[in-house]
Amino acid sequence: MTDLSQAVLLVSCPDRSGIVARLASVVHQMGWNIVQVDQSVDAEHGDFRMRMVLERPDGNSKGSDFTERFETIAAEEKMTISLHPREERPRLAIFCSKEPHCLQDLLQRHASGELECEIPLIISNHEDLRSLSEFFEVPFVHVPNDANRRQHAEATLETLLEEHAIDLIVLARYMQILSPGFVSNWPERIINIHHSFLPAFAGASPYRQAHERGVKLIGATAHYVTAELDAGPIISQDVLECSHRDGVSDLARKGRDVERNTLSRAVRWSIERRLMVQGDRVVVFG
């Protein structure tokens, strides 16, 4: 394994005294420095969670040795621990349909270096966004998908994802429902953007639903995908004001900015290892 110079350590376990001291002692013994730490306790549920950024200036410590030490602690202390080299670049597949704004925003942020990941694949159930993918020089694959051919389509998707060694799927306004079987193969590895402030207006046509209810705020929600539609753990949300003067098309136009910003924020947090799922909630480390 390549020598590590920086790594992110994520820890969760039942809260008790001495956790931080034990971990800090191992970091010191291995010759690493703690350059950033974010920890908290959920007093209601008794859960401890922490994110550490670790650094070794000389880069002489082998990643495998470091990982083994923390795996030993995890077994002894009944912790859930994961260690991620900072130079590790997750590989993303972006799923889209016809709406370009979320896809374009992600590709632009990636091209500018804001999203430190690899995007080897864009998959769509329509051909509309092929030219956008080609502009950013990302391979585009058209996989027709609807209720009548979902099984065949998802088998094709799985093959493509395996061939490209994908770590995370991002649904950038992909207007198809994924089957429970497909979702179960990617637990906490599919991020969706829904164009409403969930749990309000789940399902289809949320802007029309919002208009009919005369809401004064519209929003967007990035969440992990589960078998239940639009009900997965929430990662990021945002809202903006609207009024009785806004029609459905106005709400959709205004909402596109909220959608793209909310999704890109969630994707960046995932890439930077700032997310931890605990039950039905997502902890976002600063």
Cβ–Cβ under 8 Å, residues 283 and 128: no
Query: Which member of 47, 105, 167, 230 is catalytic?
Result: 230
**Token representation of residue 80:** 């859930």
| SS3 annotation, 100-169 | CHHHHHHHHHHHCCCCCCEEEEEEECCCCCHHHHHHCCCCEEECCCCCCCHHHHHHHHHHHHHHCCCCEE
Calpha distance 206→210 (Å, rounded): 6
The dihedral through the CA atoms of 262, 264, 267, 272 has a sign that is negative
Amino acid at 103: L
**Cβ partners under 8 Å of residue 216, min gap 6:** 241, 242, 243
Contacts from 236-245 at CB under 8 Å and sequence distance 24+?
236/262, 236/263, 236/265, 236/266, 236/269, 236/284, 237/197, 237/198, 237/262, 238/262, 239/197, 241/216, 241/217, 242/210, 242/215, 242/216, 242/217, 242/218, 243/216, 244/214
Q: Which residues of 106-138 are buried (b: 16+ CB within 10 A; e: fewer)?
A: bbebbeeeebebbbebbbbbeeebeebbeebeb
Whether 250 is catalytic is: no
Q: Which residues are identified as catalytic?
A: 230
